[in-house]
Amino acid sequence: MGTALLRGWIASGIPTAAIEVIDPSPTPELLSIQRQHRITVNGDPCLRPKAEVIVLAVKPQIAAFAVESIRFRIQPKSLILSIMVGKTIVDLRMLFRTRVRLFAQCQTWLPLWDEACR
């Protein structure tokens, strides 16, 4: 799913310099896209600027790893879009509270779809 999103962003004209992918196990397809479009994959966390938009398109079992990987990129006004099956907004709040300690700074939690809302 994340690779499909990445291909769509590139096709829509988003500058590839503005895209960074964090993946604990990059697929050959992702590595091919990286070479073709010069996208940063698993770059040095010390060199990463703060992000305005973060898309978490990960499997729920690696959510904690993903949040830990982006913790230094988050700023109070970052928009974080989570695309995860089986994780409710409550789950995400707890994950960010325990992993990032940024919960108090996050101004808005807006679920676009949440299983708990049914």
CATH number of the domain to which 72 belongs: 3.40.50.720
To the nearest 10 degrees (0 to 180), the angle between helices 89-99 and 63-70 is 50
Do residues 38 and 55 both lie within one domain? no
**What average pLDDT does the segment 28-41 reach?**
92
Whether residues 54 and 79 share a domain: the answer is yes
Are 25 and 70 in a shared domain? no
Question: Do 25 and 53 reside in the same domain of the chain?
Answer: no
pLDDT the model gives residue 35: 94
Structural domains of the chain, count: 2
Domain identity same for 56 and 89: yes
Residue 23 contacts residue 41 (beta carbons within 8 Å)? yes
Note whether 38 and 84 are same-domain residues.
Answer: no
28 shares its domain with 64:
no
> By percentage, how much of the chain surpasses pLDDT 70?
79
Of the two residues 90 and 111, the one the predictor is more confident about is 90
* pTM summary value: 0.67
Contact between 70 and 22 under an 8 Å Cβ cutoff? The reply is yes
Name the pLDDT band for 28 (thresholds 50, 70, 90).
Answer: very high
**38 and 85 co-located in one domain:** no
Which amino acid type is present at position 26?
P
Mean pLDDT, all residues of the chain: 77
Same-domain check for residues 37 and 73: no
pLDDT digits (tens, 9 = 90+) for 55-66: 888 888 888 888
Q: Are residues 28 and 60 in the same domain?
A: no
SS3 content of the chain, % helix, strand, coil (to 5): 45, 10, 45
Containing domain of residue 5, as a range?
1-43
Alpha-carbon distance 63 to 69, whole Å? 10
Average pLDDT on 5-9 reads 91
Same domain, 77 and 109: yes
